[in-house]
């Protein structure tokens, strides 16, 4: 699952060895630590998502739910303060609009 939040882009997948844990992955470590400040980040230099954290399923669900419950903006893209990240999101938005709009 990809999750785009105002402070980053993460990929969440099942942990291969521990069914109680999810692997939260990102291309920047702060994209993880913004949501899970105490996460132990593992760095894999040759991986597509260089930064990773094994986090319990419950903690992942709790934090994502908290983000949703506390959401106040009515336009996601305009609340992304990092210019490079916002530009990336706009590119994704445009790509999806061009290919999926009927």
Torsion over CA: 35, 39, 43, 49 (sign): negative
* pLDDT tens sequence across 41-89: 999 999 999 999 999 999 999 999 999 999 999 999 999 999 999 999 9
Output the CA torsion sign for 34, 28, 64, 20.
negative
Cβ neighbours for 40, distance < 8 A, ≥ 6 positions apart: 53, 54
| pLDDT tens profile 10-53 | 999 999 999 999 999 999 999 999 999 999 999 999 999 999 99
From CA 58, how far away is CA 99, in angstroms rounded? 35
Q: What's the pLDDT score for residue 101? A: 82
In the structure, what pLDDT confidence band is assigned to residue 102 with cuts at 50, 70 and 90? low
Q: Which residue is associated with the tokens 């069914």?
A: 19
Per-chain mean pLDDT for the chain: 96
């Amino acid at each position: 699952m990809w999750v785009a939040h105002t402070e980053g882009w993460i990929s969440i997948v099942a942990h291969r060895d521990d069914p109680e844990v999810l692997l939260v992955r990102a291309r920047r470590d702060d994209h993880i630590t913004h949501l899970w400040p105490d996460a132990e980040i593992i760095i894999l230099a040759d991986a597509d998502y260089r930064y990773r954290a094994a986090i319990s399923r419950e903690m992942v669900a709790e934090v994502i739910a908290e983000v949703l419950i506390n959401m106040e903006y009515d336009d996601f893209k305009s609340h992304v303060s990092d210019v490079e990240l916002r530009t990336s999101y706009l590119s994704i938005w445009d790509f999806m609009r061009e290919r999926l709009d009927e």
